[in-house]
Amino acid sequence: MTEHTDVVVVGGGQAGLAAGYHLSRQGLDFVIVDADAAPGGSWQHMWDSLHLFSPADHSSLPGRLMPAQPGETYPGAAHVVDYLADYEKRYNLPVQHGTRVNAVHRDADRLRVEADAGIWRAKAVISATGTWSRPFLPAVPGRPDFAGRQLHTVNYRSPADFAGQRVVVVGGGNSGAQIAADLALDGDVEVKWVTRRPPRFLPDDIDGRALFDVATARRRALDAGRSDTGGVASLGDIVAVPPVRAARNAGLLTVKPMFAHLTATGARWADGSRSDADAIVWCTGFRPALAHLAPLNLRGPRGHIPTDGTRALGEPRLHLLGYGDWTGPASATLIGVGRTARDAVQQIRELLR
Ligand code: FAD
């Protein structure tokens, strides 16, 4: 199969759907190609107890407010999946699920998008593949020697999988804090939380609403040529969502600095101290999933593709949406991606004129 279209959106998570909303409003011909068989992007793979940083009304894509989840201020991951599935249907977005894009090539007049299901020849491509499919594991001495279970954030489901076990959680970001708290609050798991530097909790009264305001203020300052306000990172790393706050306040989050190496039975620190463990959960982050763009040869430092906003500097027909702040302030969040999607689609419309 070879089809022609104005725009191919690669990825049908929140970023791909926000792009679809604006493409549809602009009357462009497009398709959204998504590797997952079902709607919801990465939210459908997250752990059972995960809740958003922000209330529902601050977690919405363009056009449709996320409804509140009864009994919860901060909606759970399953609620987000339902919202995204409904969003896809409500706006009649042409999402082709269960289809992976393997490569995007430059043809003379079009970009050629090669997928499992065939080929699209498009005037522009929006890549919105997120980071979930590229978990990052640091090179730690002795990692292959550890005889217990090792898993990444992406494989973690619930404390029930670790009943009666000793678990080391590695990583000082939100995933590390939330998974350490989830395990610690269970009471049947012995948890050690290991972070490279002491965990930096945001003030308890700051949630995703304030984070978005801070990101917006930073963008306005930079746009106006004023000095960098430092953005969200200047406030701290960890949002004290209710379970994290509860575990921390109850003294259940035992924090240790990063260990020097792993042995067959557990972790060992530079001072000679050791901790036996049955499992290590690596909450050590992600990298952008950009392998399908390799044929375009656009890769810059740190595995990113250099962009001006969302537009790839080396290929003006390609936009990158989501991923992180490098493609636009707060563009990896539900509330922030709508604005960057709108700007990307606006630029594509001008390009196609
Ligand atoms: P994804 O949701 O990962 O979607 C990408 C889609 O692309 C997937 O459906 C995938 O199947 C598809 N895909 C990938 N590769 C290909 C390919 N080659 N071909 C075709 N399809 C492909 N964000 C918030 O807004 N609020 C929060 O409170 C919040 N809390 C978070 C808490 C944690 C612990 C974590 C880890 C993240 C949190 N986030 C939050 C961030 C948010 O989950 C992600 O940034 C968001 O899911 C990214 O959306 P996306 O659409 O860019 O990518």
Whole-model pTM: value is 0.93
155 and 56 inside one domain = no
Using the predicted structure, report yes or no on whether residue 42 has a pLDDT greater than 60: yes
Residue 230 lies in a domain: no
**Is there a single domain that holds both residue 151 and residue 197?**
yes
Instruction: Please check the confidence at residue 81 and state whether its pLDDT lies above 70.
Output: yes
DSSP 202: P
**Domain-embedded: residue 48:** yes
Q: Looking at the domain assignment, is residue 319 inside a domain? A: yes
Question: CATH number for the domain including 244?
Answer: 3.50.50.60
Question: What domain range is 190 assigned to?
Answer: 143-201+237-282
Q: Give me the half-sphere count of Cα atoms (radius 13 Å) on the Cβ side of residue 108.
A: 0
Residue ranges lining ligand 1, Cβ < 6 Å: 10-16, 33-36, 41-43, 50, 52-54, 59, 100-101, 128-130, 132-133, 174-175, 178, 208, 289, 292, 322, 332-334
Q: Which of these three, 254, 282, 310, is where a domain ends?
A: 282
Amino acid 108: pLDDT = 84
Residue 91 three-state SS: coil
Find, among 212, 228, 217, the residue nearest to 336 by Cα: 212
Is the same domain home to 74 and 160? no
280-324 pLDDT, tens digit per residue, is 999 999 999 999 999 999 998 877 899 999 999 999 999 999 999
Listed in sequence order, the DSSP H helices in the chain are 14-25, 77-90, 174-186, 208-223, 242-249, 334-352
Nearest residue (by CA) to ligand 1, atom 14, is 129
Q: How far is the CA of 226 from the centre of ligand 1 (A)?
A: 32
What's the whole-number average pLDDT of the chain?
93
Q: Are residues 162 and 270 in the same domain?
A: yes
Q: Is residue 168 in a domain?
A: yes
pLDDT number for residue 203: 84
pLDDT in tens, 220-232: 776 667 766 655 5
Of residues 255 and 231, which shows the higher confidence score?
255
190 has pLDDT over 70: yes
- Which pLDDT band, with edges at 50, 70 and 90, does 236 fall under? low
CA of 269 to the centre of ligand 1 (A): 34
Distance (angstroms) between ligand 1 centre and the Cα of 193 equals 25
> Do residues 264 and 295 share a domain?
no
pLDDT at 202: 85
Indicate the number of domains in the chain.
Answer: 2
Same domain, 147 and 269: yes
Asked if the model's pLDDT at residue 234 lies above 60, the reply is no
Asked if residue 138 belongs to a domain, the reply is no
Q: What pLDDT sits at residue 82?
A: 98
Best substitution site from 333, 337, 340 to test ligand 1's pocket, by max atoms within 8 Å of Cβ? 333
Task: Output the pLDDT for position 233.
Answer: 55
Task: Let me know whether 295 and 339 are in one domain.
Answer: yes
Confidence at residue 73, expressed as pLDDT on a 0 to 100 scale? 87
pLDDT tens digits, 138-163: 999 999 999 999 999 999 999 999 99
Give me ligand 1 centre to Cα 40, in Å.
Answer: 9
Residue 42's nearest CA partner among 152, 154, 150 is 154
Residues 195 and 313 in one domain: no
- For tokens 């995204």, name the residue: 84
pLDDT of residue 64: 96
pLDDT of residue 211: 66
